Amino acid sequence: MTTNRIFFLAGILLFSQSISAQEVRNNSVVSLFNGKNLDGWYQIANDQGTEKNLFTVEKGMVRTYASQKAGSQQSFGALITNQEYENYELNLEYKWGEKKFKPRENDVRDAGVLFHIFGEEIIWPGGIECQIQEGDTGDLWIVKARASTKIDPYRRNFDPKGIFQTIGNSPKEFNKSPRSFCWEQPGWNKVRILVKGDFAQFFINDKLVNEAIDMKRWDENKKEWVSLTKGKILLQAEGSEIFYRNITIQSLN
C-alpha cells in the first residue's frame, strides 16, 4: 500500500470519528447500534465455552447466544464500544430470551451494562455496572473500583434520602449495592443511565433506582484512588439469552 493511500484512509477514519464525536458534543442523540451490524463495537469472551462471538444482529436487535443450544456450556461475553464516552445520557431497551446456559442454567437470567471501564479487558474489567438481572435490574455493581451511594439504614437498599455510604476498599473487589425496588416488567424494559463526571444515576422504566457518587479507580503509579469520569461502554452476555435495542447516547455537556 502506498504512503498516499495510507494517509488517505487514515484521514477518512479520523473524519468519520470526528463526525460521531461532534454529534455527541452538539447534544444530538446518537445511535450506538445501527440495527444492521456491530460496527463501532467489538467482542471479548472468557474460556468457559468454545464460541467467542456471542453477540449477533437480528431484526434490528442485538441478540446473545442466538445459535447456541439451551443448557449447553457457554462463555460469558462482552460487547464493547470502540470509543470512550463521558458526560452523557445512555438509553437502551432489553428483554429476556428463553434460553439459559451452563454454568448458570439454573440461576436467574443475568446481564448488565458496564460503563467507564478501565484496566485489562477481561471478563470482567474494572468499571461501574448497572445490573440487568431478573428481579434485580438496577443494582449497582462496583467492579474493581470505588463509589458511594445513599442507603436506607433499615432495608439496606438505595434511598435518595438515605445514609451516604462508600463501597470498595480494594482494586480487586466486586461490590454490590441494591436498587430501590424492582421496576422490571415482562417484555421490553427501558434502562437510562445519566453520567455526569464521577456521578451516575440509574433509571429503570423511568424510575430512579440507584446512584453512584464519587466514582474512582485505583492508580497504581500514584498509589491512590483517582476520579473515574470516562471510559468505554460494555454490554454483558452472562449465560442467558437477552435482546438489546434502541441503544443511544446524548451528551450532557
Q: Regarding predicted confidence, which is higher, 150 or 10?
A: 150
Digit-coded pLDDT (tens) for 178-218: 999 999 999 999 999 999 999 999 999 999 999 999 999 99
Distance separating alpha carbons of residues 247 and 94, to the nearest angstrom: 10
pLDDT above 70: percentage of residues in the chain: 90
- Region of 181 please: left (phi>0), alpha (psi -120 to 50) or beta: beta
Rounded to two decimals, what is the model's pTM?
A: 0.88
Domain ranges of the chain: 1-30, 32-251
Digit-coded pLDDT (tens) for 214-248: 999 999 999 999 999 999 999 999 999 999 999 99
Cis peptide before 171 (omega within 30 of 0): no
| pLDDT of the residue at 12 | 30
Digit-coded pLDDT (tens) for 73-114: 999 999 999 999 999 999 999 999 999 999 999 999 999 999
pLDDT above 90: percentage of residues in the chain: 85
User: 244 Cβ partners below 8 Å, 6+ apart?
Assistant: 33, 61, 62, 92, 93, 94, 235
| pLDDT of the residue at 92 | 98
| pLDDT of the residue at 26 | 60
| pLDDT of the residue at 23 | 45
- pLDDT tier, 170 (very low <50, low <70, confident <90, very high otherwise): confident
Considering the four listed CATH numbers 2.40.420.20, 2.60.120.650, 2.60.120.560, 3.30.428.10, the one that applies to the domain covering 32-251 is 2.60.120.560
Q: For residue 11, which amino acid is it?
A: G
Distance separating alpha carbons of residues 89 and 73, to the nearest angstrom: 35
